[in-house]
Amino acid sequence: MDKIIHIIGVPMDLGQSQRGVDMGPSALRYAGLFSKLHELGYQIKDLGNIHIQDRETLNKDDLMTEICRVNELVYKAGQQAISNKNLPIFLGGDHSISIGSIGGVTHDSSVGIIWIDAHCDYNTPETSLTGNIHGMALATLMGKGWPELVNIGRPGPKIYSRDVVMIGVRSLDPAEKEIISRSGITIFTMRDIDVSGISQIIHMALKHLSHQKNIHVSFDLDALEPVEAPGVGTPVRGGLTVREAHIIMEIIADSQLLSSLDIVEINPILDNYNRTALKAIELTESLFGKRILM
């Protein structure tokens, strides 16, 4: 891969109630993201962090305005990186940043989306039990929810069910189950992984997305078993092992279809010696081609 990697920090925790994921970009940089990718032979350009207003200065109405403003900037950064034939990595922050990142990287043409997450993030304002926007990100991208979020970057849906595969799902709200069952999205739950094995699952995912020439990976660290990744805001037991996650990343790397990446929901406040960020770096290395035998 000869693309230049663009690092875009989005230290936003406005999409959820649990504080701390705003430190995710710093944790990933501190854990050695640049040096590890550089060792794999990549050119890297760090575009720094998008500025985000402090949560304490915002009232409820301002909160939505700021989430929209930030995602508009993320959208533009993703659009520009792809148009210049570079590969953007978006460092979150909570998963609401994907409204901008996936919107931006699909501005000129559609891509396949592999959404690795314990949750579906397919709530709407009507179904959400918390009102947290990070739990509505995928639904928003598919045109459901508040218009000001749906229309970020360009009007209407940014992606469609045929272009999305979810892996690692194991926690959904009751009403969310109903609407996502009608969405047409291909979902591989942890039960599917236990029954079929992770290698078969990721090959099935790539086959489903074979109509696309590029893949965006949206990786929420709570997809992992909490023992392996304690530094997340919404941990759910029974997740991916680290080895299963490496296999996912290695097989995507083999496909040579990766065009963009989100790394989200790392919360250093809840972590143990930056363990979760270090795991994220190791998995990113696999996604970018690190092999056991070169």
Q: How many residues does the chain have?
A: 294
* Gap between the Cα atoms of 282 and 29, Å rounded: 13
* Gap between the Cα atoms of 290 and 294, Å rounded: 8
Of 12-16, 232-236, 277-281, the least confident? 12-16
The helix (H) or strand (E) run that includes residue 35 is helix 33-39
- Residue 1: predicted pLDDT: 60
Of 57-61, 181-185, 212-216, 266-270, the least confident? 57-61
- Residue 130: predicted pLDDT: 87
Whether the per-residue pLDDT at 60 is higher than 90: the answer is: no
Catalytic positions, written as ranges: 95, 117, 119, 121, 134, 220, 222, 265
For the entire predicted model, the pTM comes to: 0.96
In the sheet that 44-49 helps form, which strands lie side by side, from edge to edge?
44-49, 5-10, 87-92, 258-264, 215-220, 112-116, 164-169, 186-189
Q: For the segment 70-115, what is each residue's pLDDT rounded down to a tens digit?
A: 999 999 999 999 999 999 999 999 999 999 999 999 999 999 999 9
Q: For the segment 189-219, what is each residue's pLDDT rounded down to a tens digit?
A: 999 999 999 999 999 999 999 999 999 999 9
Dihedrals phi, psi of 171, to nearest 5 degrees: -145, 115
Structure tokens at 15: 């999409």
Does domain 5-287 correspond to CATH entry 3.40.800.10? yes
Q: For the segment 212-248, what is each residue's pLDDT rounded down to a tens digit?
A: 999 999 999 999 999 999 999 899 999 999 999 999 9
Cα 164 from chain centre = 12
Which of 286, 257, 244, 235 is closest to 114 using CA atoms? Answer: 257
Report residue 152's pLDDT band, with 50, 70 and 90 as the boundaries. very high
Bond before 197 cis per omega within 30 degrees = no
- Residue 19: predicted pLDDT: 87
The C-alpha R_g of the chain, in whole angstroms, comes to: 17
Helix (H, G, I), strand (E, B) or coil at 150: helix
Whether the per-residue pLDDT at 294 is higher than 60: the answer is: no
- Residue 216: predicted pLDDT: 98
Whether the per-residue pLDDT at 8 is higher than 60: the answer is: yes
Structure tokens at 31: 């854990």
